[in-house]
Structure 1
Amino acid sequence: MNVKVDQYVDLKPHNTMGISCFARYLTRVTSEQQLSEVLLWAKAENLPVCPLGEGSNVVFSGDYEGLVILVAITGCETTESNGRVLVKAGAGENWHGFVRWALDQGLYGIENLSLIPGCVGAAPIQNIGAYGVEIKDVFHSLQAMDVTTGEVISLDADACQFGYRDSVFKGELRDRYVITSVTLSLSKVFESCLGYGHLQKEVLQEAGDQPVTGQLVSDVICRIRNAKLPSPEHLGNAGSFFKNPVICDGHYKELLKTEPDIVLFPAGNGRWKLAAGWVIEHCGFKGVVRESGAGVYKHQALVLVNHGSADGQAILALAEEIQQAVRERFGVLLEREPRVY
């Protein structure tokens, strides 16, 4: 095999939660050919595999007794189709860097997803979304390699079964494929999506008498996110730790009797989306720090943080404590966003 494989590697530099644990084996691939080689090797050695981009949406609960594959396949290709521009990006491209690159090319549709941490390959797994836009809105297709056979397949949006922070890769196809590239359908014409009131206010205020541009929307969103979320370089975190729970209209009306100030948003079909950060804060967790080093960010209760010494078990224990408190007070179960290994 022409790909280097290291043994017993500390994964702390490879996960934004800053959890120190060890991978039995770790390798880095920059092409589909290299990925195919290491997958064949892992199969021969009967090892589980963990594909990893920038580790921004994972929690390692302990040492990983398998092969961690750092997917570093990069590059962008563009083709025009029916008035749209199809952009094929390697799974290892940094997501925010890709968004800014697209803006520099005069391509629009993902500017609202600026500064979301992670790589391009992880975007469809999570169906990342922010400020009224989800990856599914511009998704065209992806390529992925079968972990067992090495076969490369192509999946369109229907096959990916996108849902709220969800896809087929978190269900039926979990652990079966490694995404190698993602193709998005972007526009050469900018159309702003400013459905969130505070975003619209800040963008229009910043624009003044000038027209709103995609670059401006991206810049404002970056500023908002930087103010709300800690940088993993200074405080370990995996971004939003829980999904916003969706409840039915009857549950919503019952909650209003005891929680008249509760923050919700219409989710369609008589359902409501609860602001997870709000319910966590009102259960008294905002800013807490446990002796283990696990904590909740002081400026945003939706973000669990590592103050330097917490391991994965400590982070997950705090998450379970939060889930129990929220379930007892609000009757909803918060679902974790990060993947646990």
Structure 2
Amino acid sequence: MSELMTDYALQAHNTFGFKVHARYALRIENEAMLRAALVDTRTADLPRLVLGGGSNIVLTGDFDGIVWLISMKGRRLVHEDEQAWFVEAGAGENWHEFVAWTLEQGCPGLENLALIPGLVGAAPVQNIGAYGLEIAEHLATLNAIELSTGKTVVFDKADCGFAYRDSFFKQQGRGRFVITSVTFRLPKKWRPRCDYADLARQFSVAGMPDAQPTSRDIFEAVVAIRRAKLPNPAEIGNVGSFFKNPAVSAEDFDLLLAREADIVAYRQPDRRVKLAAGWLIEQCGWKGRGLGPAAVHAQHALVLINKGGAQGQDILELAGAIQHDVDARFGVQLELEPTVI
């Protein structure tokens, strides 16, 4: 039976760096260990929390239950056909290292998602996305253990219910499944995705606006942009973007545009308009400001940071103040990206 760790410090398992503890913790390295944990009489009646890299979570205090630390490793080329490569990674693999590995194998497609913190198993839950790409575009299947039965269930893309920073696993499936591995379909007819403003600007500055960048070029550009704009969680506690970009109707956007001529927004295929949450926050004067040990990053208004000694409630208090001000000025409600526990 796996070692049950008591009074386990979770500071290294949440990228805000909150100094909180779990009553018990158990490292899960394969599906057999997960199934054994399901019937472990030592913790059968306790609340459960599944943690990977903790890059999209706000822990508001000690967890009086059992934390499963997902550590399933492994990455491989499953197979290929004339159209695509199929690559698989264990849920406990580091996401950025997995993206780099796919390029080393000559399988491009995920390079726009470089340097996103966290583990592979959490990526479908959040439907992570950046620089014009979401993982929903390339996900083929994933394996997950159903907690009520201990059986492995295979999900395809349609089963995952992907939406903007959302999925079945954040909604109806929350608390019902633990993802154990993910397989991606990477088309062999690769095309660069570098029309996103920051990427286009990066290549223009590099003196190659009309050249065809390679997947490695895009990977390195994304890494450079993220390092320049976003704080390293190992140095400053954060979970990346804290708020989703809100979408409004075309009619509501026209009313906003009449008042705010410089508003940053992106029209969507469904006629809705996505607003840049960072711009809204900055216009309300929050960029670089804070409340106590929690603050808005000076270089990116979407990022809330732990200046040192902050707890989850400090971050949520700051987030609430920002939401209030954005709503008061623009009539727009900001929604949190991370999960609050």
Q: What is the CA-CA distance between 1:269 and the residue it aligns to?
A: 1.9
Partner of 1:337: 337
Q: Tell me the distance in 2 between the aligned counterparts of 1:183 and 1:230.
A: 30
Q: What is the CA-CA distance between 1:188 and the residue it aligns to?
A: 3.6
Q: Check whether the contact 1:127–1:163 (CA below 8 A) recurs between aligned residues.
A: yes
* Structure 1 ranges of 4+ moved more than 4 A: none
Partner of 1:237: 238
Partner of 2:220: 219
Q: Tell me the distance in 2 between the aligned counterparts of 1:155 and 1:71.
A: 19
Q: Specify the code of the residue in structure 1 equivalent to 2:3.
A: K
* Closer/same/farther in 2, CA of residues 104 and 306 from structure 1, 3 Å limit: same
Partner of 2:136: 136
Q: Tell me the distance in 2 between the aligned counterparts of 1:54 and 1:287.
A: 26
* Closer/same/farther in 2, CA of residues 295 and 42 from structure 1, 3 Å limit: farther
Q: Specify the code of the residue in structure 2 equivalent to 1:299.
A: Q
* Cα shift readout 1:252-299 (whole Å, capped 9, x = no counterpart): 1111122111110112222110000010111111111222x0111010
Q: Specify the code of the residue in structure 2 equivalent to 1:265.
A: Y
Q: Check whether the contact 2:83–2:189 (CA below 8 A) recurs between aligned residues.
A: no
* Cα shift readout 1:117-158 (whole Å, capped 9, x = no counterpart): 111101110111111111011010100011232111000011
Q: Tell me the distance in 2 between the aligned counterparts of 1:294 and 1:278.
A: 20
Give RMSD over aligned pairs: 1.5
Structure 2: gaps (5+ residues): none
Q: Check whether the contact 2:43–2:66 (CA below 8 A) recurs between aligned residues.
A: no
**Partner SS for 2:7:** strand
Partner of 2:178: 178
Aligned-residue identity in percent: 45
**Partner SS for 1:45:** coil
Q: Check whether the contact 1:190–1:213 (CA below 8 A) recurs between aligned residues.
A: no
Q: Tell me the distance in 1 between the aligned counterparts of 2:204 and 2:38.
A: 50
Q: Check whether the contact 1:23–1:66 (CA below 8 A) recurs between aligned residues.
A: yes
Q: Check whether the contact 1:241–1:302 (CA below 8 A) recurs between aligned residues.
A: yes
How many residues in Structure 1 have an aligned counterpart in Structure 2? Answer: 339
Q: How does 1:234-273 map to 2 (within 5 A)?
A: 234-273=235-274
Which segment is superposed worse, 32-41 or 128-137?
32-41
Partner of 2:36: 37
Q: Check whether the contact 1:16–1:54 (CA below 8 A) recurs between aligned residues.
A: yes
Q: Tell me the distance in 1 between the aligned counterparts of 2:41 and 2:331.
A: 44
* Cα shift readout 1:104-126 (whole Å, capped 9, x = no counterpart): 01101111011111111011101
Q: What is the CA-CA distance between 1:220 and the residue it aligns to?
A: 0.5
**Partner SS for 2:136:** helix
Q: How does 1:41-120 map to 2 (within 5 A)?
A: 41=40, 45-78=44-77, 79-120=79-120
Q: Check whether the contact 2:198–2:225 (CA below 8 A) recurs between aligned residues.
A: no
Q: Check whether the contact 2:237–2:307 (CA below 8 A) recurs between aligned residues.
A: yes
Q: Check whether the contact 1:294–1:314 (CA below 8 A) recurs between aligned residues.
A: yes
Q: Tell me the distance in 1 between the aligned counterparts of 2:267 and 2:127.
A: 20
Q: What is the CA-CA distance between 1:83 and the residue it aligns to?
A: 2.3
Q: What is the CA-CA distance between 1:63 and the residue it aligns to?
A: 1.0
Q: What is the CA-CA distance between 1:322 and the residue it aligns to?
A: 0.8
* Closer/same/farther in 2, CA of residues 326 and 24 from structure 1, 3 Å limit: same
Q: How does 1:281-320 map to 2 (within 5 A)?
A: 281-291=282-292, 293-320=293-320
Partner of 1:274: 275
TM-score by length of 2: 0.96
Q: Tell me the distance in 1 between the aligned counterparts of 2:246 and 2:237.
A: 24
Q: Tell me the distance in 2 between the aligned counterparts of 1:44 and 1:199.
A: 48
Q: Specify the code of the residue in structure 2 equivalent to 1:166.
A: D
Q: Tell me the distance in 1 between the aligned counterparts of 2:193 and 2:41.
A: 44
* Closer/same/farther in 2, CA of residues 42 and 301 from structure 1, 3 Å limit: farther
Q: Specify the code of the residue in structure 2 equivalent to 1:77.
A: R
Q: Specify the code of the residue in structure 1 equivalent to 2:71.
A: A
